[in-house]
Amino acid sequence: MSNQALPRPRFNAPEPERAAKADLKLEPRTAPLLPGKVSGIPDAVFGWAMRFCGLAVVSLLSLIVYELIVGSQLSWHAFGWKFFGHSDWNPVEEQFGALPFIYGTLVSSILSLVIAVPLAVGVAVFITEMCPVRLRGILSFTTELLAAIPSVIYGLWAIFILVPLLRAYVQPFLATTLGWTGLFSGPPYGIGMLAAGVILAIMIIPIISSITREVLTVVPQHQREAVLALGATRWEMIRMGVLRNARAGIVGGVILGLGRALGETMAVTMVIGNRPEIAKSLFAPGYTMASVLANEFSEATGDVYLSALIEIGLALFLVTIVVNALARLMVWSVTRGQPTKGVA
Partner 1 sequence: MTSTSTAIVIPPISLWRRIVDRTMTGVAVLTVILVLLPLFAIFAYLVYKGIGAINWAFLTQTPKPVGEPGGGMANAIVGSMVILAIASVLGVPLGIGAGIYLSEYGRNRYGDAVRFISDVLNGVPSIVIGIVAYAMVVLRQKHFSALAGGVALAIMMVPTIARTTEQMLLLVPQAIREAAYGLGVSRWRTTLSITLRAATSGVITGVMLAFARVAGETAPLLFTAFGNQFWNWKTDQPTAALPLQIFTYAISPFDEWHQQAWAGALVLIVLIVSAVSAVRIAVRRGTLAGA
Partner 2 sequence: MGVGITVEQLNAFYGKTQALFDINLTVLANHATALIGPSGCGKSTFIRCLNRMHETIPEARVEGKVRIGEFSVYNGTSATQLRRRVGMVFQKPNPFPTMSIYDNVAAGLKLNGFGNRKQLDQIVEKSLHSSALWDEVKDSLHKKSGASLSGGQQQRLCIARALAVQPEVLLMDEPCSALDPISTGKIEELIFQLKEQYTIVIVTHNMQQAARVAEFTGFFLLGKMIEFDKTEKVFTNPSDKRTEDYVTGRFG
Contact residues for partner 2, defined by CB under 8 A: 1-3, 6-9, 11, 16-27, 29-30, 32-38, 40
The one of partner 2, partner 1, none whose footprint includes residue 332, by CB under 5 to 8 A per kind, is: none
Q: What is the dihedral of CA 107, 113, 115, 116, to 10 degrees?
A: 150
Q: Does 51 bind partner 1 (CB under 8 A)?
A: yes
- The string of DSSP codes covering 117-181 is HHHHHHHHHIIIIIS-HHHHHHHHHHHHHHHHS-HHHHHHHIIIIIHHHIIIIIHHHHHHHHGGG
In the complex with partner 1, the residue whose CB is nearer, 205 or 218, is 205
Binders of partner 1 in range 276-295 (CB under 8 A):
290, 293-294
d(CA 344, CA 340): 9
Q: How far is the CB of 37 from partner 1 (least distance, A)?
A: 12
- Contact between 192 and partner 1 (CB under 8 A)? no
Give the residue with the Cβ less far from partner 1, 123 or 250: 123
Q: Determine which residue in the list 7, 28, 42, 342 makes contact with partner 1, applying CB under 8 A.
A: 42
| Nearer CB in complex with partner 2: 17/299 | 17
Residue 92 touches which of partner 2, partner 1, none (Cβ within 5-8 Å per kind) = none
Among 6, 13, 92, 148, which residue interacts with partner 1 (rule: CB under 8 A)?
148
Beta bridge partners, 243, equal none
Q: How far is the CB of 16 from partner 2 (least distance, A)?
A: 7
The helix/strand/coil state of 89 is strand
* Residue 189 binds partner 1, judged by CB under 8 A: no
Choice between 16 and 132, CB closer to partner 2: 16
Other beta carbons within 10 angstroms of residue 157's beta carbon come to 16
Shorter beta-carbon distance to partner 2: residue 21 or 336: 21
**36 contact choice in partner 1, partner 2, none (CB below 5 to 8 Å, kind-dependent):** partner 2
d(CA 100, CA 278): 6
Inter-CA distances, 68 with 71, 99, 166, 173, 262, Å? 5, 19, 38, 44, 18
The pattern of x and - marking residues 76 through 115 that bind partner 1 according to CB under 8 A reads: ----------------------------------------
DSSP 201-224: HHHHHHHHHHHHHHHHHHS-HHHH
Beta bridge partners, 90, equal 95
CA distance 108 to 268: 9
- Answer for which of 73, 236, 244, 333 binds partner 1 (CB under 8 A) is 236
Q: In terms of CB distance, is 22 or 34 closer to partner 1?
A: 34
**Shortest CB 53 distance to partner 2, Å:** 21
Is residue 289 within 8 A of residue 99, CB to CB? The reply is no
Kindly tell me which of 185 and 312 has the beta carbon lying closer to partner 1.
Answer: 312
CB of 64 to partner 1, least distance (A): 5
Task: Tell me which amino acid residue 164 is.
Answer: P
User: What CA–CA distance (Å, rounded) separates 206 from 264?
Assistant: 14
CA count, 13 A, side-chain hemisphere, 20? 2
